[in-house]
Structure 1
Amino acid sequence: TPHVEAWDAAAALPASLFENLSELGFMGMLVPEAYGGLDLDVTSYLVVVEELARADAASALTVSIQNGPVASTLLKHGTEAQREAWLPGLAAGEHIGAFALSEEGAGSDPAGVATTATRDGDGWVLNGAKKWVTNGARAGLLLVFARTGDRGELGCFLVPGGHPGLEVQGRTTTMGLRASETAEVRLNEVRLPLDALVGAAGNGLGIALDALTLGRAGIAAQAVGIAEASLEHAVRYSREREQFGRPLAAFGAIQAKLAEMAARTAVARAAVREVGARLQRVRAGEADDGVGENSLVARVAGAKLVASETAMFASDEAVQIFGGYGYMRDYPVEKLMRDAKGTEIYEGTSEILRFVIAREIMRAAEG
């Protein structure tokens, strides 16, 4: 869209965009109709995220966090009172959701969360700091994970935006996805009622990992959208740009690049479609009995791994095809490359994803 570059430069999405996304129902795609959502199946949701990312990955990321780690976690693990209190506002876009898990010393190792939640009379008191909180700068609801006991014993807490003791310390300056308004959040004696806890104390790590499964599928869809946009821009430019008296697209070297970009993107898209269908069956109450490399956890990790590395490959090739123009801020492919890099890092780095897949393979081999 003509506005994307301005949003990226401003490192913020406009309020009008959130209004439009809300009117379309995109802020509550996975929320049941009873709470004001669209109640889409997971595959349809992932297609929407993919299409949004073709235009702007930051917008797609914001929608993915809202629907996946935030709303779906509340839907699956929250009480009816918690769902009634928050899901209608999330679906209507009145509340922007944020997932506050990562910390300075706990990124790929969520069990190492140092933020504490201490019982105090008829409530909880939270202290600590969270980093890389997507949507954190404008969040109306944060799902904050804090340690309730020994290492790995976490609780998931509902913290309203603007709550006393909650401090958003400005937007984090990132390489790409700049408009997603990532922030650092500090919690200083944040007092919460007992019913702010989602699930049971000590079960937060399981809730977080469950949320990341759907979250990773959303990021995989986002990455496919970036790869598609990279291919589209590369094809268009190679047909228009002439060198040595003919279009770049007439050269075999350029055709080979485009073919590889297209083939890899198709594979990534197919992987995302597969996990979308399987996640939907689980969401509908069916069991998923896949094991080893075919387990749902491994398949989702594989989809994100393949899709994110495809996005990085395709955007890199697009920059190369654009040549000197590709290295300039005036052209869209440099932003695609910056955005693509993020998909290889957040919600599971490529290295962690390979570890997850290998772990599932070895578990199955050991019986």
Structure 2
Amino acid sequence: MISSFELTDAHEEHRETVRQFCEDEVEPHIEEYEESGTFPMDVVETVADAGFHGVQYGSEYDGLGLDYRSYAITIEELSRSWKLLAGTASVAGSLVGYPIHEFGEEWQREEWLTRICSGEWIPALSLTEPNAGSDAGSLETTATRDGDEYVLEGEKVWTTNGSIADFLVVGVQTDEGVSLIGVPEPAERDGLEFVRDIPCMEGETAVETEIRYDGVRVPVENVIGEPGRGLRYVLEGLDIGRIGTAAQGVGVAQGAFEESTAFADEREQFGQPIREFQGVSFKLADMAIEIEASRLLTLAAAAKRDRDERVTAEAAMAKTKATDVAMDVTTEAVQVHGSRGYSKDYSLERRMRVAKGMQIYEGTNEINRVVVANQLYE
């Protein structure tokens, strides 16, 4: 339940800063990379240079030292322009950055988190397996202790940015249970194979990698936190990641909504702008209502985390609502644009494709509903 929630002038100024950044540094490059189907490495580096890969982490780790509301705002604004960049920033700030920051050793924060926040490293979480998706506790990839090293064996799928990553956090089974292990410079590791990048609806710019670990050796000291507590760390990181994914949903929907309101004002049929037809105006009104509700849920979850409280239910609610809304809004936005919405000449079909992915990753929306239902009785 939302108990208290506020955005300050500083938050609104941050939103304007990120939006202006996107308009100047991101949007001019989207068409080029989407048409070529190549990962926008230089644009990602520009985003990281601006501090957006470490919004909520301190300046001692090259972060911006802001709060989780600022993190959510950053991800929303990046997604409003190009969701691909928001996904990379969200992984850096949540699924990878969070367990290192909260549970890692200080040397790991100094050596690993600093490189992630600064953009020197592109990070990835290597967790999902062919037989372990929603049930992260049933991982089959193992890490066997051999002296001062762990030996990794197993297969991972859907590792976002895996084949281009400079640093992996790998979920494994150790004698103690699920553990997280940091693997710097994975491309140089013997026994680590990037099997393929999985084709997906988001398009060829997105990198979703299948990885095989065949006797990969890493130092024991690379375990993040305590061995056997990795599932807890992942679940806490998912609370933050789901705030990020909710913000992605809000941003994607907001971008589609703005394009739709502009088009409905400009497009005339039967001698009047199509926005004057109730069938269109009601679509636009519903979009506005649902986007605002999603934004409030997302920022309220972030505000609660800023109070240093767990946000398992709130993050799951926000993620589910906002990504379902993104799917609905982009679908209706295509309808408002008619044949133009169906065309790749416009960005709406891309927004619609990425919206579907957001309903699946960071826990499917069905799993998030299970999370919410379970929290009702705690």
CA distance in 2, matches of 1:332, 1:167: 34
Secondary structure of 2:66's partner?
coil
In structure 1, stretches of 5+ residues that fail to align are 289-295
Q: Is the 8 A contact 1:31 1:72 kept in 2?
A: no
**2:363 maps to which of 330, 348, 360:** 348
Secondary structure of 1:159's partner?
strand
Q: TM-score, normalised by structure 1?
A: 0.92
**For structure 1, which segment, 268-277 or 128-137, has the greater mean C-alpha deviation from structure 2 after superposition?**
128-137
| 1:114-165 Cα shifts (integer Å, max 9, x gaps) | 1111111221000111111112121111000011148xx2110001122222
| 1:157-190 Cα shifts (integer Å, max 9, x gaps) | 0011222222222322110265332211111101
CA distance in 2, matches of 1:127, 1:31: 33
Counterpart of 2:238? Answer: 212
Distance 1:179 1:30, change over 3 A: farther
**1:63 maps to which of 89, 104, 121:** 89
Q: Is the 8 A contact 2:191 2:216 kept in 1?
A: yes
Q: Is the 8 A contact 2:172 2:179 kept in 1?
A: yes
CA distance in 2, matches of 1:142, 1:119: 19
CA distance in 1, matches of 2:35, 2:91: 22
**1:154 maps to which of 160, 178, 184:** 178
Q: Is the 8 A contact 1:65 1:98 kept in 2?
A: yes
**For structure 1, which segment, 17-26 or 306-315, has the greater mean C-alpha deviation from structure 2 after superposition?**
17-26
Secondary structure of 2:168's partner?
strand
Counterpart of 2:157? Answer: 131
Q: Is the 8 A contact 2:301 2:314 kept in 1?
A: yes
| 1:186-225 Cα shifts (integer Å, max 9, x gaps) | 1110101110111122111111111111011100001100
Counterpart of 1:303 in structure 2: which amino acid?
A
Name the Cα RMSD after superposition: 1.4
Counterpart of 1:307 in structure 2: which amino acid?
A
Counterpart of 1:228? Answer: 254
Matched, 1:318 2:344: no
Q: Is the 8 A contact 2:44 2:85 kept in 1?
A: no
Q: Is the 8 A contact 1:172 1:183 kept in 2?
A: yes
Secondary structure of 2:154's partner?
strand
Counterpart of 2:343? Answer: 328
| 1:36-63 Cα shifts (integer Å, max 9, x gaps) | 2211101011101100000001111011
Q: TM-score, normalised by structure 2?
A: 0.90
Secondary structure of 1:198's partner?
coil
- State how 1:32-47 maps to structure 2 within 5 Å: 32-47=58-73
CA distance in 1, matches of 2:46, 2:111: 23
In structure 2, stretches of 5+ residues that fail to align are 1-26
- State how 1:93-132 maps to structure 2 within 5 Å: 93-132=119-158
Secondary structure of 2:200's partner?
coil
Q: Is the 8 A contact 1:58 1:177 kept in 2?
A: no
Counterpart of 1:292? Answer: none
